[in-house]
Structure 1
Amino acid sequence: MHVVATAGHVDHGKSTLVRALTGMEPDRWAEERRRGMTIDLGFAWTELPSGETVAFVDVPGHERFVPNMLAGVGPVPAAMIVVAADDGWMPQSAEHLAALDALGVRHGLIVVTRSDLADPGPAIAQARAEVAATSLGEVAAVAVSGATGEGLPDLVAALDRLVAALPEPDLDAPVRLWADRAFTIRGSGTVVTGTLGAGRIRVGDELTLSDGRAVRVRGLQSLGRAIDEVVAVARVAVNLRGVEPTDAGRGTALLTPGEFGAADLIDVRVTGDDAHDLPRTGTLHIGAASVPVRVRPLGPDTVRLRLDRPLPLRAGDRALLRDPGLRRLMGGVTVLDVAPPALARRGAAAARATELATMDGRPDERDEVRRRLLVRRADLRRMGVPAAMTPVTGDWLADPAHWSSLGEALITAVTAYSKRHPLEPGMPVEELRRALDLPDRALVEALVSPPLAYRNGRIARPGAGDLPAPVAQAVALIRADLAENPFAAPEAARLAEVGLGPRQIAAAVRTGALLRLGDAVVLAPDAVEAAARALATIPQPFTLSDARKALNTTRRVAVPLLELLDKRGHTRRLPDDRRVLDQAASQNPV
């Protein structure tokens, strides 16, 4: 299917023309038929001689209903510009054309109606001149009469040529279907209609609304018949499960889960005659959505827009900025950035304007990574930026120059930390993450390379955490004391005398130079094995008193030492509080 929007001044015969082409009534409401003008969007379709199907979005022509017109024009790739031969080019003709130009529509056709009432030549010439100066460029023109049918075969042939020239849609793209109508059907529930510009939808698919709420596709209809799958480009009605019509009205989008972010602050380029003289507020029209915005000028043609509610936008999106008070189109909008940086520092706005001047709305992965320094690949995808770079870790992409500077900063930070904390075995990863202002500790670990090493949650140089000479000398003195009696743990006074405080003891324990049994109770690192050998020489099972005598130590040492022997499996504690060595336990079961 191919979708074409009508455009043109009120009462120039758009609906009559669609009716003549399709045999269908595009004016859905009795009020529209009574007044002879299209107030809301109308839809009709027909099959062309080539076998292709073309669906028309018949949009309003009256100035009061321009927002409805924008909802119809926004999602479609081609337009049929209708001008009456007896009326000529009119204000709404110009506004509709300006909207098409601002949205970058490149495929179109001029149709001059009422050729039976006036010479169509002047209207064709003027319309061609107006259209040629826009994004549509030179387009074909056909004169017809809806009343007599004259010229309709030529129009059908021109439509066949028009749809044949339309670009192929991306069927693998994520779905973003802007709802232009929402209503309830008894027995079916909520139905939304829209133009599917890319991707595909299947019955049973789970989609999300703009607000992130999950919905499921209960049914699909296109061209008046139920189908199991619809592919772009197509007019489609989607029957949803789990949502009310009030929650999925015009401007809501149905989205592929996880493929779009919600943007309420965007940087854009504005084009048009009034782009240099923008008011502080306006309305942004994109797809079928209309959202009030606050405007902050940045550069000659770039502005920052703050949206009253977030929309699922991507870099490169085309939109319109309109002044609803003055009822005029302010300009076309190209979205440059849907996740722009804050402008808190002095000079930030000017620097940002300079940066935006280099952006054209065609997102480039390397440029985006360079600007953001660090960014998740999934976040880039949600911004509309294709991602092919190799992550530095997990899903993280990094600007190469920034990544290199982070590596240097890591070495500097670890070196400085080692000097400040000579007894520590390295700098904790979480402290490094904060020092380098990184969003994920996995990035810290990914930065580690020789001569640095990662172990036990810390980053250090080889040899970091080795005991400083004064501490090593103090440990040697205590080891000499223990050589005479391995289980006579030195008292606190002796430890203080040689210069071993809590931090020094902790460092000695980390390096394996001492074994700590409890606060200020330290032994040589081989004390556990030595105790097991000593206890093997006494009768089994044995009591705490027996062990204390065998080890020639005090209760202060014997109690925690036996508990450590139990923990390491050297001994087994019996119900009567006696113990046996593990090898003896198997020979003397209780």
Structure 2
Amino acid sequence: MANIVIGTAGHIDHGKTTLIKALTGIETDTTKEEKKRGMSINLGFAYLDLKNGMRVGIVDVPGHEKFIKNMVAGLPGINLVLLVIDAQEGIMPQTKEHIDILTLLGIRDFLIVLTKVDTVDPDLKELVVDDIRDQLKETPLADAEIIETDAVTGTGIPELLERIQTHAENISETTQNGQARINVDRVFSVKGFGTVITGTLLDGPIKVGTELHLYPEGKKVRVRNIQVHETDVEEAFPGQRTALNLANLSKDEIQRGDVLSISDKLHDTWMLDVKIKCLPEVENGIGLWDRVRLLIGTREVMARTVPLGAEWIAPGTEGFLQLRLEEQVAVKERDHFILRAYSPMETIAGGEVLDVAPSKHRRFKVEVLESLKAKEEGSTEEIIADFMTNKKQPFTTAKELADYLGTAQNELTEILAEMVTENQLIQTKVGYLTSVSYAKLEEQASAIIDEYHKKFRLRQGIPTEEFRSRLRKNLSDKEITALLQLLTENQLIKSANDKLALAEFTVTFNKYQEAAQAKIEKMLADSGYTPVKKEDLEVLDKNAPEVLEAMNGDRVIFLTHEFVILKKVYQEAIDLIKKYIAEHQQMTLGDFRDMTQSSRKASMLILEYLDKENVTKRVENYRVLGEKGK
């Protein structure tokens, strides 16, 4: 008889744990933290005895986004999935991600369990069911049966048990002629027994007394005792949730993510050749050297992607990758896995392993397979240029290049310096750019600023922060700073008053705007050291509002969003302060008020702005010169 494992999946608070308790009487939220937070954090396990005598294992996988890796860890070996959906809420974003993960891992047998049906109006329930069908029509769950339940009242629970039994009877026996393997998902100690691990048994049977190999540590361990569904057994079979009591092994010597196997031929590998399917909603697809999270077995490992046979794997398509891992893993061909983006942590693809020990020459397969020979015979300079041209991120550090080439950074110093001299690369404080990449960034930056100039012809330029926000999707803040420095050095842009403009751009007023400017300047000049309210200036002329904004930082200073002063007067105030402090070492608010013959409020507005600009610095009740005032 087949050994069946059922998994539950669904959004947080949709009732997975409560449903399992109604089916089995077992509480899978066992830790204090899980009970306190009201959600599953780690994998929960239970078992169910069916009327036909079959005992079915159940894995309650976490529903919260933060615990997706725990969910994936529970899926290897699962035969049937109960997709749990709250009748009050319907399909949620987390539900969709769970469906993506399940299908990417090759699971095709589903039952949709609608929970809490007795808490909603029948008409609303029907609307939810229609919406579920509509949202799942393009997925492997399009024809999955929907079972309506309420774990509190017992509605639908008998019917669900019948459907589970029917599915269990139709699941074929797992092959038992392989070499047993377990991906460790939990490790704990039992007083009087020692170290115990749990996991789903894969590939072949295992008996008490069997010697296993621990990966990646390489240590040999012996099985002292086996439990399946809390019952001691002499032998466990593929597909069963299994607990192994291991002899001569402390709890600290094994951890979640490790692998136990009868075979001594598993590879601890740094690279994997894989075939993947990229999800349609992944905006940028998967490109060269993207940093991703590989979830395989019960491990999460950071990796870099190298597309094989194509420049990138487009959204909604399949393709081949080589994964360059940051930690070793022990896996087998045809193992399924999930790829999640490094940040934000979203599922982007899934697939299966084709080669667990690819040849090292494959590390240089960057574009199409037909170009492999040319790349292998190419110089280091050509490989660097090709790598940098095809990766998504324009900036590349020397460490990235060393990691990609499998060499030491100091061995690249001379080569990179020569490429800079030959204008193949541009060196910055945050990394290198190819000339082609810089040209693209230059074009992008020019387009952003030019678009702003055309939209706001009387403004001095785009605010620097707004410009940065337009580039943050592909560049870090440090990289944007480096780019701005290059653009300025190459005289493409100019910067003033925290605004960026194209080098040749100037604000030009027509005769009507010039008249408005004259009115504004006269009022401010007449007011002297007494700031004028913005609203009083804007009523001087119909063109005054946009002209005043264009003058900001150039002819006038906005001390606050409300008060304005003539820039010439502002500079005179700075000169007075510097002279006074040079003679008296410090200055009070009253001293400045007396010098300018202005009010206390006006003096305070000017001095607080100077403090903010670091021209002055307040110390208790007096001021000294700040860094910009010295």
> Is the TM value for this pair above 0.5?
yes
Which residue does the alignment assign to 2:13? Answer: 11
What TM-score, normalized by structure 2, do the two folds share? 0.54
Decide which of 266, 274, 283 is 2:272's aligned counterpart: 266
Deviation string, structure 1 residues 178-205 (Cα, Å, up to 9, x no partner): 1110011111111000111331110000
Distance of aligned partners of 1:125 and 1:245 in 2 relative to their CA distance in 1, 3 Å threshold: farther
**Corresponding residue SS for 1:105:** coil
Deviation at 1:248, TM superposition (A): 2.0
Which residue does the alignment assign to 2:291? Answer: 281
Mapped to 2, the partners of 1:138 and 1:46 lie a distance apart of: 25
**Corresponding residue SS for 2:11:** coil
Deviation at 1:131, TM superposition (A): 4.2
Query: Contact 1:132 / 1:139 at 8 angstroms: preserved in 2?
Result: no
Mapped to 1, the partners of 2:175 and 2:347 lie a distance apart of: 30
Larger Rg: 1 or 2? 1
Distance of aligned partners of 1:122 and 1:45 in 2 relative to their CA distance in 1, 3 Å threshold: farther
Query: Contact 2:322 / 2:363 at 8 angstroms: preserved in 1?
Result: no
Which residue does the alignment assign to 1:295? Answer: 305
**Corresponding residue SS for 1:251:** coil
Which residue does the alignment assign to 1:230? Answer: 236
Which residue does the alignment assign to 1:252? Answer: 258
Q: Are 2:173 and 1:164 aligned?
A: no
Alignment of 1:467-506 (within 5 A): none
**Corresponding residue SS for 2:223:** strand
Distance of aligned partners of 1:10 and 1:281 in 2 relative to their CA distance in 1, 3 Å threshold: same
Mapped to 1, the partners of 2:252 and 2:29 lie a distance apart of: 23
Mapped to 2, the partners of 1:87 and 1:192 lie a distance apart of: 37
Deviation at 1:341, TM superposition (A): 2.4
Query: Contact 1:112 / 1:123 at 8 angstroms: preserved in 2?
Result: no
Q: Are 2:332 and 1:320 aligned?
A: no
Query: Contact 1:75 / 1:288 at 8 angstroms: preserved in 2?
Result: no
Mapped to 2, the partners of 1:348 and 1:326 lie a distance apart of: 25
Deviation at 1:317, TM superposition (A): 1.7
Query: Contact 1:82 / 1:112 at 8 angstroms: preserved in 2?
Result: yes
Distance of aligned partners of 1:33 and 1:134 in 2 relative to their CA distance in 1, 3 Å threshold: same
Distance of aligned partners of 1:213 and 1:136 in 2 relative to their CA distance in 1, 3 Å threshold: farther
Mapped to 2, the partners of 1:350 and 1:151 lie a distance apart of: 54
Q: Are 2:220 and 1:214 aligned?
A: yes
Deviation string, structure 1 residues 79-124 (Cα, Å, up to 9, x no partner): 1100000011001101111100110101111000000012333333
Mapped to 2, the partners of 1:55 and 1:344 lie a distance apart of: 41
Distance of aligned partners of 1:195 and 1:132 in 2 relative to their CA distance in 1, 3 Å threshold: farther
Deviation string, structure 1 residues 292-324 (Cα, Å, up to 9, x no partner): 112222224222111222222222221001124
Mapped to 2, the partners of 1:37 and 1:218 lie a distance apart of: 34
Query: Contact 1:114 / 1:145 at 8 angstroms: preserved in 2?
Result: yes
Query: Contact 1:84 / 1:123 at 8 angstroms: preserved in 2?
Result: no
Which residue does the alignment assign to 1:35? Answer: 37
Which residue does the alignment assign to 1:72? Answer: 74
Deviation string, structure 1 residues 36-61 (Cα, Å, up to 9, x no partner): 11111111111112221111101111
Which shifted more, 332-341 or 92-101?
A: 332-341
Mapped to 2, the partners of 1:235 and 1:293 lie a distance apart of: 29
Alignment of 1:381-530 (within 5 A): none
Which residue does the alignment assign to 2:83? Answer: 81
**Corresponding residue SS for 1:155:** helix
| Seq. identity, % | 35
Query: Contact 2:72 / 2:298 at 8 angstroms: preserved in 1?
Result: yes
**Corresponding residue SS for 2:267:** coil
Distance of aligned partners of 1:250 and 1:282 in 2 relative to their CA distance in 1, 3 Å threshold: same
Which residue does the alignment assign to 1:183? Answer: 188
Deviation at 1:348, TM superposition (A): 7.9
Distance of aligned partners of 1:173 and 1:354 in 2 relative to their CA distance in 1, 3 Å threshold: farther
Deviation string, structure 1 residues 351-385 (Cα, Å, up to 9, x no partner): 27899xxxxxxxxxxxxxxxxxxxxxxxxxxxxxx
Which residue does the alignment assign to 1:192? Answer: 197
Distance of aligned partners of 1:277 and 1:345 in 2 relative to their CA distance in 1, 3 Å threshold: closer
Query: Contact 1:262 / 1:312 at 8 angstroms: preserved in 2?
Result: yes
Mapped to 2, the partners of 1:198 and 1:347 lie a distance apart of: 32
Q: Are 2:159 and 1:154 aligned?
A: yes
Mapped to 2, the partners of 1:66 and 1:347 lie a distance apart of: 31
Distance of aligned partners of 1:176 and 1:349 in 2 relative to their CA distance in 1, 3 Å threshold: farther
Distance of aligned partners of 1:25 and 1:131 in 2 relative to their CA distance in 1, 3 Å threshold: same
2:106 is aligned with what amino acid? Answer: G
**Corresponding residue SS for 2:368:** helix
Mapped to 2, the partners of 1:292 and 1:63 lie a distance apart of: 18
Mapped to 1, the partners of 2:92 and 2:84 lie a distance apart of: 11
Deviation string, structure 1 residues 389-411 (Cα, Å, up to 9, x no partner): xxxxxxxxxxxxxxxxxxxxxxx
Deviation string, structure 1 residues 27-78 (Cα, Å, up to 9, x no partner): 1111211221111111111111222111110111111111111111234232
Which residue does the alignment assign to 1:51? Answer: 53
Mapped to 2, the partners of 1:19 and 1:13 lie a distance apart of: 10
Mapped to 1, the partners of 2:58 and 2:342 lie a distance apart of: 27
What is the RMSD of the two structures over their aligned residues, measured on CA atoms? 2.2
Distance of aligned partners of 1:41 and 1:21 in 2 relative to their CA distance in 1, 3 Å threshold: same
Gaps of 5+ in 1: 356-590
Mapped to 2, the partners of 1:206 and 1:148 lie a distance apart of: 48
1:92 is aligned with what amino acid? Answer: Q
Distance of aligned partners of 1:105 and 1:136 in 2 relative to their CA distance in 1, 3 Å threshold: farther
Mapped to 2, the partners of 1:205 and 1:41 lie a distance apart of: 26
Query: Contact 2:104 / 2:338 at 8 angstroms: preserved in 1?
Result: yes
Mapped to 2, the partners of 1:116 and 1:81 lie a distance apart of: 18
**Corresponding residue SS for 1:39:** coil
Distance of aligned partners of 1:56 and 1:342 in 2 relative to their CA distance in 1, 3 Å threshold: same
Mapped to 1, the partners of 2:179 and 2:327 lie a distance apart of: 22
Decide which of 142, 146, 163 is 2:147's aligned counterpart: 142
Query: Contact 1:70 / 1:288 at 8 angstroms: preserved in 2?
Result: yes
**Corresponding residue SS for 1:209:** strand
Distance of aligned partners of 1:318 and 1:345 in 2 relative to their CA distance in 1, 3 Å threshold: closer
Mapped to 2, the partners of 1:116 and 1:227 lie a distance apart of: 41
Deviation string, structure 1 residues 237-260 (Cα, Å, up to 9, x no partner): 001112222332111111122342
Query: Contact 2:185 / 2:256 at 8 angstroms: preserved in 1?
Result: yes
Query: Contact 1:177 / 1:196 at 8 angstroms: preserved in 2?
Result: yes
Deviation at 1:149, TM superposition (A): 0.1
Deviation at 1:344, TM superposition (A): 7.0
1:127 is aligned with what amino acid? Answer: I
Which residue does the alignment assign to 2:326? Answer: 308
Distance of aligned partners of 1:295 and 1:110 in 2 relative to their CA distance in 1, 3 Å threshold: same
Gaps of 5+ in 2: 314-318, 374-630
Query: Contact 1:85 / 1:114 at 8 angstroms: preserved in 2?
Result: yes
Which 4+ stretches in 1 moved above 6 angstroms? 344-348, 352-355
**Corresponding residue SS for 2:95:** helix
Query: Contact 1:76 / 1:197 at 8 angstroms: preserved in 2?
Result: no
Distance of aligned partners of 1:146 and 1:256 in 2 relative to their CA distance in 1, 3 Å threshold: same
Mapped to 2, the partners of 1:38 and 1:209 lie a distance apart of: 28
Deviation string, structure 1 residues 146-194 (Cα, Å, up to 9, x no partner): 1100111110011112212223201111112111100111111110001
Mapped to 1, the partners of 2:33 and 2:364 lie a distance apart of: 56
1:141 is aligned with what amino acid? Answer: I
